[in-house]
Amino acid sequence: MVVGDFAIDLETVVIGAGPGGYVAAIHAAELGQKVTVIEREFIGGVCLNVGCIPSKAMIQAGHVYQDATNSSYMGLSVGQTSLDFTKTIEWKDKVVHQLTSGVASLFKKHGIDVVWGNAYMKDNHSLRVMNSDHAQTYTFKNLIIATGSHPIEIPNFKFNGRVVDSTGALSFKEFPKELVVIGGGYIGCELASAYANLGAHVTIVEGKDSILSNYEADLVKVIKKHFKEQNVAIYTSAMAKNAEQTADAVNVTFTVDGKDQTIKADDCIVSVGRRANTADMGLDKTGVKVDDHGLIPVDAQGRTNVSNIYAIGDIVAGLALAHKAMYEGKVAAEAISGQSSTVDYRAMPAVCYTDSEIATTGLTVAEAKDRGLDVKKAQFPFMANGRAITLNSTDGFIRIVYMKDSGVVIGAQMVGPDTSDLISEITLAIEAGVTIDDIALTIHPHPTLSEAIGDTADVGIGFPTNI
């Protein structure tokens, strides 16, 4: 290993090139800072390489497969639909390459330097980067830590061979005809839905009393219906016990209702949560505080208790979402440039890309009442929406939560077709202080899914024209 025996002075350093890190780096460069990114694996981080983007590519492949297989109700018949899984993975990889190479091009455009290796803190103003053949010390004026998170491994389910985390689940060499998913959160359910659509028989094992327990029960009810139609088996209040691998299978044992059950599967995905990447990087050599969960406390500008060190994304409090990290990255970059920007949002949209999609933003009725707010709700079913009917996708609904006295919109929950796109209208409405009457007065094109938002508002003002 070549060792640099002198320190190289840098201005703004970003550790991690995931969504939060690369957005922070680009925006800092746009603001005139000289930026260096330290990355140990790949540009784009988990999201672009082995998370958000490739999983949505696989989900889309599943949708297309289902459309090709089940279109006779429209009078459309195709030949025998088949899956060439190798080509599916190749297509997924092409999507990933297009996006990650795009980020690399933006780094070049903005003069952002990339140093490859693992970063280890030395103190509040210096760090050391090490890789397989080089070690170098750097000093910095300002630092943004954007190291993201990693999947949690559970006892007796070590990630190896046929037992994989969410990363491995997107790179199977062969298509798993029988698949077990440990964990019924949004990542587990998305992967279960994708592989079920591609033709796998999927079993979900969830420790809590419901899958997708962070969402309201009436939203999850629609997802359970779709899983039943996909022949997905769901075991709740079930505890994963062990996984024993053979040459051609993995036997997954779990306990439910006090009895052990074993399923023979091709592969087992473990998706029980993620943990912040803050250990083993030398933060104890700095003054940066880290809580018991490995999260770094920050102020409204993303600044830690050390004034020149910032932290964003999965390593700080809040939802572990790529778009949240991006937002925080911009704020941190602006704070370093001396601007008064702060993290100040009224609504943070979240999406689960199952069949159908769940999308939420702002507060639920229960959350609003917990805060002492007097609210009302308006709800409209997709079965009464013309576009949803033409798509043969009528399950689900849109619900808008608003203040009883002023009509100001404070939240929304949706389950149904393309709600991942529809939720942005309500997020903007919340940020802008829009009322339920304003939405009702907004002309939505016909026939569209967005028209259901206007119809929901009509319910709220007492004139439900279409139901």
- Residues making up the annotated binding site for NAD(+) are 183-190, 206, 273
Burial of 17 (0-12, 13-18, 19+ CB in 10 A): buried
State whether residue 426 is helix, strand or coil.
helix
Burial of 27 (0-12, 13-18, 19+ CB in 10 A): buried
Residues 6+ apart with CB under 8 A from 181: 188, 189, 191, 192, 202, 203, 204, 205, 268, 269, 271
The residues with which 239 forms a beta bridge, in sequence order, are 255
Distance between CA 462 and CA 444 in Å, rounded?
18
Binding-site residues for FAD: 56, 147-149, 314
- The verdict on whether 444 is a catalytic residue reads no
Give the pairing type, strands 375-381 and 118-123. Answer: unpaired
Binding-site residues: 56, 147-149, 183-190, 206, 273, 314
3-state helix vs strand vs coil in the chain, percent to 5: 35, 30, 40
Burial of 353 (0-12, 13-18, 19+ CB in 10 A): buried
Distance between CA 395 and CA 221 in Å, rounded?
10
Q: Which of 110, 226, 444, 446 is catalytic?
A: 446
State whether residue 208 is helix, strand or coil.
coil
Which positions are catalytic? 446
